[in-house]
């Protein structure tokens, strides 16, 4: 006798495995005249299957927890229609907020199901390991650069410095992608993933975190490495009160060491630290003139050129984004967008989050801390990772 097909289970795994194929955003094409990606197409097909399941099951969706992401999507839409480059703004709004909202709706529904969290978390770990190994094999000369990487002249200099990037457009993107996975594995190995369990073999966890740490170090992303040190220190400070004096001492010493390394470096016009200062200055100038609705997503580079073109000894002629998560919200979506995002983050920083949802809270915190020096959201895959951990915390 043939078994009846369990459609809900099929959708269950389709939704959970979205995280596994995040790098598929690099596969781009035109679909019905609209630019799209393999990742986006999979999300839409999965959402269609999800809607069919909801209709068949006659389930009522509860979207009360998703009010803030919905409001941010509305603000992003308004900013897009008022932006100079509307197509760029609408395209990024679709990729980061609309697609993210679809994923949130599906996650919010299936998180009520037993063991659903295991599927996307394991998918994310496998995905992180894949791109980490990809980067290491690139460094060993086993993997070469992809066509879109060869087309970027800036990457040649970064690769010559020994930095790895995996399939991405920047070493920092690789670091931002794997950072939450490193934190998650660290919690598993420290034994504080209770009451949430991640079904993973300890030996596999040790091997995995070693590979991810090697990849993170070889990316040479100071922002991601600093975020890792900070989030682990915060975790230890919260959970080991007797060792707080030692933890603070180590943090102070590391801060002094880091400052010494930064300021002892020879100042050059290509130095990323000093370039960032210039970008931050331009972002503040731009946002001060567009406080209400911002300039729209994907419009920073064009505006950047006009604001500091007269600065003597200008370091950068291009900057795709402000290299700061909060400045990016302010510049792109204005004060309303930044305020909603800050409220969204604030609602996740609760005592019960770091006590009962540590496995989700600290990776999310790592994303936020890394966001002070880099843009850990405004990218197809990074946005979905952000919404993944947010879904677990609301």
Interval 237-242 mean pLDDT = 77
Give 374's pLDDT tier (boundaries 50, 70, 90).
confident
Q: How far apart are CA 140 and CA 88, in angstroms?
A: 37
Give 258's pLDDT tier (boundaries 50, 70, 90).
low
Q: Helices 118-139 & 171-190, crossing angle to 10 degrees? A: 130
pLDDT value of residue 315: 46
Q: How far apart are CA 159 and CA 132, in angstroms?
A: 15
Element at 37 (helix H, strand E)? strand 34-37
Distances (CA, A) of 214 to 208, 225, 358: 10, 11, 24
Give the CA radius of gyration of the chain.
21
Element at 230 (helix H, strand E)? helix 222-239
Interval 143-166 mean pLDDT = 79
Got the DSSP string for 149-179? Answer: HHT-HHHHHHHHTT---TTSSSHHHHHHHHH
User: Is the pLDDT at 264 greater than 70, yes or no?
Assistant: no
What does the angle CA 140 – CA 142 – CA 148 come to, to the nearest 5 degrees? 105
Q: Which are the contacts of 33, defined by CB distance < 8 A and separation ≥ 6?
A: none
20 burial via Cβ count (<10 Å: 0-12, 13-18, 19+):
middle
Q: Convert the pLDDT of each residue in 214-230 to its tens digit.
A: 999 999 888 898 899 88
Residue 266 is given by DSSP the state: P
pTM for this predicted structure:
0.89
Q: Convert the pLDDT of each residue in 38-55 to its tens digit.
A: 999 999 999 999 999 989
């Amino acid at each position: 006798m043939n078994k009846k097909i369990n459609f809900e289970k099929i959708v269950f795994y389709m939704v959970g495995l979205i995280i596994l194929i995040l790098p598929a955003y690099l596969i781009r094409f035109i679909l019905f005249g609209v630019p799209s990606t393999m990742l986006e197409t999979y999300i839409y097909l999965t959402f269609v299957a999800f809607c069919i399941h909801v209709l068949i099951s006659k389930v009522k969706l509860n979207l009360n927890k998703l009010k803030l992401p919905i409001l941010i999507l509305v603000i992003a839409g308004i900013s897009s229609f008022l932006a100079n480059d509307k197509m760029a703004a609408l395209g990024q709004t679709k990729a980061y907020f609309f697609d993210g909202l679809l994923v949130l709706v599906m996650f919010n529904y299936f998180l009520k199901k037993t063991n659903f969290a295991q599927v996307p978390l394991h998918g994310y770990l496998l995905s992180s390991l894949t791109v980490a190994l990809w980067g290491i094999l690139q460094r060993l000369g086993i993997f070469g650069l992809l066509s879109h990487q060869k087309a970027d002249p800036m990457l040649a200099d970064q690769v010559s410095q020994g930095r790895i990037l995996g399939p991405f457009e920047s070493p920092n993107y690789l670091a931002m992608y794997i950072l939450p996975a490193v934190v998650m594995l660290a919690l598993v190995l420290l034994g504080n993933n209770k009451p949430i369990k991640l079904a993973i073999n300890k030996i596999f966890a040790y091997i995995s975190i070693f590979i991810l740490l090697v990849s993170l170090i070889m990316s040479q992303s100071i922002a991601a490495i600093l975020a890792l040190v900070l989030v682990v220190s915060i975790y230890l400070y919260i959970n080991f009160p007797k060792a707080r004096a030692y933890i603070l001492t180590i943090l102070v010493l590391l801060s002094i060491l880091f400052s010494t390394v930064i300021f002892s470096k020879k100042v050059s016009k290509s130095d990323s630290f000093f370039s960032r200062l210039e970008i931050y200055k331009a972002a503040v100038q731009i946002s001060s003139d567009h406080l209400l609705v911002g300039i729209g997503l994907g419009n920073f580079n064009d505006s950047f050129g006009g604001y500091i073109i007269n600065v003597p000894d200008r370091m950068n002629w291009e900057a795709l984004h402000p290299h700061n998560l909060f400045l990016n919200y302010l510049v792109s979506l204005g004060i309303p967008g930044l305020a909603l995002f800050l409220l969204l983050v604030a609602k996740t920083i609760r005592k019960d989050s770091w006590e009962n949802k540590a496995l989700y809270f600290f990776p999310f915190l790592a994303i936020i801390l890394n966001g002070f020096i880099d843009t850990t959201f405004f990218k197809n895959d990074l946005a979905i990772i952000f919404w993944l951990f947010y879904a677990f915390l609301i």
